[in-house]
Every structure is written in structure tokens, then in C-alpha cells.
Chain A
Amino acid sequence: MDYKISVSIMSGAEDGNMLEYSLMRGDGRKTATGWVLTIGRHDENDIYLRHDLYTSRYHAEIICDRGAWYLRDLDSTNGTFFENPDDYFNERRIYGTHSLTENQLFRIGRTWLQFESIE
């Protein structure tokens, strides 16, 4: 089976760039129960954020596990954040693995990204 997602860059120098990834095309890494895509400033990453110096080289992962989507922070220096519904200007930093919902905005370093899975 194939996995397909799009990640839109929502801020910074690459604002407006929409990136598509699929397992079939050779993106990411297949696991026993799903698929993993890596995010970071190193060019080995699937989602490669070259212009954001607040991004760690290996910053976070988008994971599909048994059909559910997750975001995992890889102990990044400047953090991975979700929008905070209580205070828009103070985002919620996440540690470890958190579930990812459709069209969710999250921040890697200083770059905002939006996640969307494609059926």
C-alpha cells in the first residue's frame, strides 16, 4: 500500500511552497507498521528546511503507524510546537510523540508547516 501526504510551508523564506511525499516515489522509510518521514536542516532529511537556522539537523519525524498520523520531536534544540488554542502567541512546545490531525499547523524551529494526508 502507498502512503501519500503533502506538507505546506506556511511561513519564512519558503512560505507557500507545497511539498508532496509518497512511499511509492521512494520518500521516507517503511516500517513494520507504517511509514516515517524525517524533517530537518540536513539534506538527508525528506523534508529539508535549508533556510531556517533554528531547525536542528535532525529535528522531527512525521510517522504513520497503523493508519494513524503522529509527529515526533527528536529532542530538537529549538523545539517543535503546536498552535495553542488558549494563547495564539505562545505556542505549545511538544516533547516526544503526539498525534497529528488533518490540516494541523505545527512549527519546526521558526518555520510553520501544515500537514495534509492524501487518500
Chain B
Amino acid sequence: MRHFFIGVEHIFVTLLQIHGSIAASVMQECGLTPEYVVNAVRRKISKGGKERTFVDLRRTIRAETILDIAQEIALEAGRREVNERDVLLAILEEGQSVPVRVLAALGLNDTQKLIDMARSYTMNVDSQQPYIRVIYGAEFDVDEPLDRHQLLLLRRMFYGYDRIRIERRLTGGYSDATLVVVTPIDGDNRQHAAIAVKINRVDRIYDEAKRYEQHVKNKLPSMTARIEEKPYVLEASGIAGLKYTLVTGSDRVPRDLRMVLAKWSAYDIGDWLQKQLFPTFGHTWWRQNRPYRFQAWQEYDWLLPPVLTLEYMTEERSEKVAEVTQLKAPIKRTHLRHIACDDVVALSKFEVHRVLPESNTIQLAISQGDGATRAYQIEVRGVDFEGVTYYRREKIELIYGRVLQTRNEELLNALYALQPDFQAEFRTIRIAPDLEIPNPVIAYEKLLDDYVNGSLCTVHGDLHPGNIMIGPNRSAFLIDFAHSREGHTIGDWAMLEISLMSDYIAPLLPDSSWDGLREFVQRLIDLNGDDSLLDDSQPSLSALGVVAQIRQIVAQCLVVPDVWSEYYVALTFCSLRALSWQKTVSVTARRLLFLVAGVALHELNTRFKPLPPPKTPSPDDTEIP
């Protein structure tokens, strides 16, 4: 803290930092992690100056007073030495110091209750038992239990506690990870602060831990959810877990934004996003933007289905096929255009992007680069992992496969599944007598190559209501950093707008028929033009207020004021992404998002044309007189 004196705050912070101390346990029993309290104290007192104004390191008057009180407490108990409980009680009884004021501000203003709690603890409880019982909270859906490996991992992660209560799953992960809220309970029957645990394959968890170190750790606001410990790995089963320490209110129930969607008004949600989430992280994230010019595919292709999905084929069988198309990396995406369903292809020199043994699948990537956002993926299904092992980043020699579907087919099939009442393969869709919008499953392809003038900053990469948590005093924090990276600034907001469309607005729609939705998206076009047109006579329309407020945030992040092309590009791909999520997104929401993508393309065509590829004068253009 760079202070040249020892005050009560320093003593208190020390007490909290002793592992398993009474002070730390009392805080946890009150639903606050010791780290959170330490951060709050630090935030209140700030760092000291560079120069010291006196030579020795002295105690403040208040610190002396408190140590005197602690001495008295010890003497009354017949002891000569002061112990940690005496010091804690002295701080609480004195009641005027910075830490006590900070505790009061955090909602712990009943000092007498804290004193009673501190008195009731037995010191140095060694409650370590070989077996940790697992119990389930009332909100946990027992129809979807955790498997044996996950339970074993959780026991490993909470070693030292008597039992753990699994409160519930944090749904909303569009990833395949398991996220649960766990309350550890110690041998004294005390509940400690709840912790969110993410369980996934080892490589994903390590990847997230690495991203957290690289992009997130040093850019977090002082009081927010953190990954405090290294990942826990269960070697035998290939899974690993990460703990996010949570910050909860006095009721100890961590809430995510999804849980309040039904309770808060559209205005409240939007207002909270603008006044809490954006300022809290904006300072080190979204406002730290730097100019960034990119082609749309670089940032957004990964949201779309694989360019090719193949069924693995052995070499012997491929020899019986009359025609095999050779694909050798590096290759341009345009070369894949003539490939159709049932063709047999031979892939060579492609890099393995991801290995998914549970579904016998490997993913290859055409584009260079790394991380989860690699563009132009090729998925190979039905790989026999008994015979061959594939590693991430390895370059494959040769793989044969039969094309199950191309990306265009997959998108088109996803649209057919929505039972369109228009021609799914037409270039445009009529949504009003005088208004046609582009068909996104056709028009997206050209957009991938367009240049976008945007900005670059640390992005969360997967911002949706299940990842946004609400702490005490409605403070904002984020979890799940599996996609955090340096990326297109407003991509986060486009993603959030789309997930709110699907989770919040779609269920409110009075009419989920195509006609009803077409009428609704016309309101969206009005909103794109001028948000003052918002009509709050219907819940679904007033819900659009959330979108209007997100747009106000986006307006602050646009690289050129009032030029929305970068946002509509992001919006197009984020909404197309949801089209193939048949299991998790309702038909209504997918229909709505399909039209939202079309409307975004419509805005791009009519009001905000993205930039064509740069025209540098070529030598051939120069006319020689």
C-alpha cells in the first residue's frame, strides 16, 4: 500500500489474509470473500505518497488504542499473549476505524453481530476430512445431475471443507462447459461465500486461464469476480475446473443478469448496463479502443457454422471413389465454393484447430492465427481416435472425407427448420409492401470480405446475460473469460444485444408468426433511425428500450461518430450465429434473429455502406502519355 505507518487498516488486512483466520471466516459467513473486503479497504484509503514524511515506521494512535484494547481482552481471558481473535474484537469494539466504516458501507453495520460471530468461532478448526459430502440446493435441477468425474473434481477443489452445496447451474453458456454455483460449508456448519465453478476439458480450461492472465487480469476493476487460483485438473478423466470468486449481497445468492430479466423493467436493465456495466469495465476495456481496420471475416467468421462438415473416410474406401477433390492448405475460401454435398475431398497440410474426442470430431482451420476465433473452420466427424491421435496445432498429412454439408447448406437448412413462408433461397425478403431486406443466409458471404473501420480493445468475447453478474449495490461484474481477447470493441455489445433479443424480447412477442415478426422488425428499423419513436404501449415494444440503451453505449464506442456500419456488420454475424442453435434458442427467437440480421444488412445497403477493398492505384492504371 506504500504507507509509512501502520494503521488499523493494515492490521485488519493482515487478519483477513491469514488463511482460515477468524476474520476471514466471519467475512465469508456474511457472504463476502476476504479478497473482496481487502480490495474495498484498499480502494477507500488509496496508496500513499512516494515521499515519507517521517523516518521510522510508526503505529497510528488508533492502532495503539486498538492493540491496548486487545491486550485487555487477552488479560480478561487470563492470557498474556494477544491472539488474532482479540485483535479482531478490539477493532470491532473500537468501531471508528477505516475498516469498520468500510464494513458498514458493505452492509455489515451490525457490529455487535460481528462481535458475537467472532466470539463463537473456535480457533484453528482443523476440519479436514477425507471425504467431502455433496448436497444439492433447492434450485438445482436434479434431472440434470453432475457426472462422477465432475463430482470428484469438485471434491478436490473444495478440499478442507466438510461439505459443499451445489446451488444451481448457471445456464446461458452457449459453450459446452458446466458452470455451477457452489457454497462450501465447514465443520462448524458455517456457510462460506459462494463460488462459481467452471468445469470443462483440460485444454479449454487452460486456454481460459491463459486468456485471463493475458487479457483480463490486469484490466479488471478493483472489485470484481476474479480467478484467484490455478486450474484444478483431474488427470484421469481429462477435465479441469476453475473457480471464480463471486461477490454477493447479504443474501449470499449470486445473481446473473438472466435471473433479473423477468423482474426488472426494460428501462432498469438498460439503465444498469449504461450506469454500472459500461463504466465499471469501460475504463480498462471498451474505452481503451485503438483504431483497427479489419476484414469482417477476421473477427466474425468463427461465429458461423464450419465452411465444410465432413464424414471421415479411410484411405482404402477413398480409392473406390471416382473423383476426389484435393484441398491443400493454404487455400482460399473461394476455392471451396464449387464443393457440394456428397463430394469426396482429400485434405492435406491443414492445422488442427480443436480435438473433440467425445464426439469423435476434429476441427481444422483454413485461416492462420490462433485462439477460439479462427476463421473458416472445417469439421471432420466420425474420426476413429482408437487408431490415430490428433493434437491441437498439429498439421495433418492427409485426411479423406465425404462432404456432409457446406456452410451455405447448413444455414439454409437452419432456415428451412423455421418454416419460412417466403422463398428461403431468394436474395431478398419482402417485409412490407414497400420494403425488401436482403436474405442474410445469402448475403452474408459477400460481407465477410468487406473492410470494417472499427476499434480494438480488450473484449469479453461472449457477452450474454448468463455471464454478467450483479453484486451488492447492483455492482457489475463478469465471469467466463474463455473468449477474452483483443478484438473489435463493439462486438461485445452486438453480442449482448442479440442475446437480449433472444432471451428477453422474443418471449414477450405477442405474435410469433412470420407476419407478426415482420411487423415487429419494422419497429426495429424505426429504432435504428430514431429512438424517440419508441412506443411503450406493448411490453415487446417497450422492451426494445433495452436495445435503445445498448445503442447509446455503442454510440460512445463508434470509431467515427454516427457511422454505424461497424455495428451492423457485427450485428449481422452475431444474429446469424444463433440460427443454428436449434437446441438452445426458441423458434420465435431464431426467426426474429434471422430478420434482425436481414435488417442489419438492409441498413448496411441503404444507409451505411461498408468500405469496398482499398483501391491503391495499380501500375497498370497509370496512363503513360
Interfacial chain A residues near B473, Cβ < 8 Å: 87
CB distance from A118 to the nearest CB of B (A): 18
A108 smallest CB distance to B (angstroms): 14
Q: With an 8 A cutoff between CB atoms, is A96 at the interface?
A: no
Complex interface bits, B36-51 against A, C-beta within 8 A gives 1, otherwise 0: 0000100111100101
Question: Interface residue count for A (Cβ, 8 Å)?
Answer: 19
Say if the beta carbon of A11 comes within 8 Å of chain B.
yes
- Determine the distance from Cα of A65 to Cα of B51 in the docked complex, in whole angstroms: 38
A53 to B48, CA, bound (A): 9
Instruction: Give the nearest-CB partner of A16 in chain B.
Output: B62
Given that A54-B49, A110-B46 are known contacts, is A13 also in contact with B97, CB under 8 Å in the complex? no
Q: Is the CB of A15 within 8 A of B98?
A: yes
* Pairwise interchain contact B65-A16, C-beta atoms closer than 8 A: yes
Q: Tell me the complex Cα distance, A11–B43, Å.
A: 13
- Give the docked Cα–Cα distance between A107 and B9 (Å): 17
- Interface membership of B64, Cβ < 8 A: yes
For B3, list chain A residues within 8 Å (CB): 13
Contact of A15 among B4, B7, B40, B105 (CB under 8 A): B7
Which A residues lie within 8 Å of B64 (CB)?
16
Q: Does B524 belong to the interface (CB within 8 Å)?
A: no
> How many B residues have CB within 8 A of the partner chain?
29
| B523 to A: closest C-beta gap in Å | 35
For the complex, is B390 an interface residue (Cβ under 8 Å from A)?
Answer: no
Taken together as a complex, chains A and B put the C-alpha atoms of A53 and B45 apart, in Å, by: 14
Residue interface bits A89-100, CB-to-B below 8 A is 1, else 0: 100000000000
A37 to B589, CA, bound (A): 67
- Assess whether B63 is interfacial by the CB under 8 Å rule: yes
- Chain A residues, CB < 8 A from B51: 53
Q: How far is the CA of A54 from the CA of B45 in the complex (A)?
A: 12
Q: Which residues of A contact B62 (CB under 8 A)?
A: 15-16
Please tell me if the beta carbons of B7 and A51 are within 8 angstroms of each other in the complex.
Answer: no
SS class, residues of chain A in contact with chain B: loop
Question: A15 to chain B: which residues have CB within 8 Å?
Answer: 7-8, 60-63, 97-98
**A51 near B43: Cβ-Cβ < 8 Å:** no
In the assembled complex, A104 has its CB within 8 A of some CB on chain B: no
| B96 at the binding interface (Cβ < 8 Å) | yes
A50 cross-chain contacts in B, Cβ below 8 A: 53
Q: Is A7's CB within 8 Å of the partner chain B?
A: no
Assess A10 versus B98: contact at CB under 8 Å? Given A15-B60, A89-B40, A110-B46.
Answer: yes
Residues of B within 8 A of A105 (CB): 101
Kindly name the residue among B46, B49, B65 whose own CB sees the greatest number of chain A CB atoms within 10 A: B49
B317 CB → nearest A CB, Å: 67
- Taking a contact as CB atoms under 8 Å apart, the answer to whether B53 and A53 are in contact is yes
Q: How far is the CB of B60 from chain A (nearest CB, A)?
A: 4
Contact partner of B4 among A10, A13, A14, A16, CB < 8 A? A13
Q: Mark B102-140, 1 if CB is under 8 A from A, else 0.
A: 100100000000000000000000000000000000000
Task: Kindly list chain A residues whose C-beta atoms are within 8 Å of the C-beta of B63.
Answer: 15-16
Residues in A with CB closer than 8 Å to B45 are: 11-12, 110
Assess whether B302 is interfacial by the CB under 8 Å rule.
Answer: no
Nearest Cβ distance between residue A104 and chain B, in whole angstroms? 13
Chain A residues numbered 4-34 whose CB sits less than 8 Å from any CB in chain B: 8, 10-17
Contacts of B9 in A (CB 8 A): 11
Min Cβ gap A95→B in Å is: 21
Q: Which residues of A contact B97 (CB under 8 A)?
A: 10, 15
C-alpha gap A17/B63 in the complex (Å):
11
- A11 CB contacts on chain B under 8 angstroms: 7, 9, 45, 98
In residues 1-28 of chain B, which contact A (Cβ within 8 Å)? 3-5, 7-9
Chain B: minimal CB distance from A101 (Å)? 17
Residue in chain B with minimal CB distance to A13: B5
Is residue B54 within 8 Å, beta carbon to beta carbon, of the partner chain?
yes
Q: How far is the CA of A112 from the CA of B96 in the complex (A)?
A: 12
Measured in the bound complex, the distance between the Cα atoms of B9 and A16 in whole Å is 12
How far is it, in angstroms, between the C-alpha of A105 and the C-alpha of B97 when the chains are bound?
A: 12
Chain A residues, CB < 8 A from B58: 13
Report A44-72 residues with CB < 8 Å from chain B CB: 50-51, 53-54
Q: Shortest Cβ distance from B223 into chain A, in angstroms?
A: 8
Inter-chain contact B53/A12, CB cutoff 8 Å:
no
- Closest residue to A88 on the B side, CB-wise? B105
The residue on A at minimum CB distance from B4 is A13
Identify the closest chain B residue to A91 (Cβ).
B44
Contact residues in A for B49 (Cβ distance below 8 Å): 53-54
Which residue on chain A has the smallest CB distance to residue B65? Answer: A16
Q: How far is the CA of A105 from the CA of B105 in the complex (A)?
A: 14
Q: CA separation between A89 and B44, bound complex, in Å?
A: 6
Complex interface residues of chain A between 69 and 88 (CB less than 8 A to chain B): 87-88
Q: CB < 8 Å: which of B40, B53, B61, B101 contacts A51?
A: B53
Q: Inside 8 A of B43's CB, which chain A residues have their CB? A: 89
Residue of B nearest to A110 (CB): B46
Question: For A14, A15, A53, A87, which residue has the most chain B Cβ atoms within 10 angstroms?
Answer: A15
Give the complex CA separation of A10 and B473 in angstroms.
25
Bound-state CA distance A51–B46 (Å) is 15
**Are B61 and A17 within 8 A (Cβ)?**
yes
How far, in whole Å, are A58 and B223 apart by their CA atoms in the complex?
34
Question: Which A residues lie at the B interface, using CB under 8 A?
Answer: 8, 10-17, 50-51, 53-54, 87-89, 105, 110, 112
| B contact set with A: CB distance below 8 Å | 3-5, 7-9, 40, 43-46, 49, 51, 53-54, 58, 60-65, 96-98, 101-102, 105, 473
7 pairs, A vs B, C-beta closer than 8 Å: A13-B5, A13-B54, A14-B61, A15-B60, A15-B62, A16-B63, A89-B105
Q: Which 9 A-B pairs have the closest CB atoms?
A: A16-B62, A16-B61, A88-B105, A15-B60, A13-B5, A53-B49, A15-B62, A51-B53, A15-B7
Give 19 new A-B contacts, CB below 8 A, not counting A16-B64, A53-B51: A10-B97, A10-B98, A11-B98, A12-B7, A13-B4, A13-B5, A13-B7, A13-B54, A15-B8, A15-B63, A16-B62, A16-B63, A16-B96, A51-B5, A51-B53, A51-B54, A89-B40, A89-B43, A89-B44
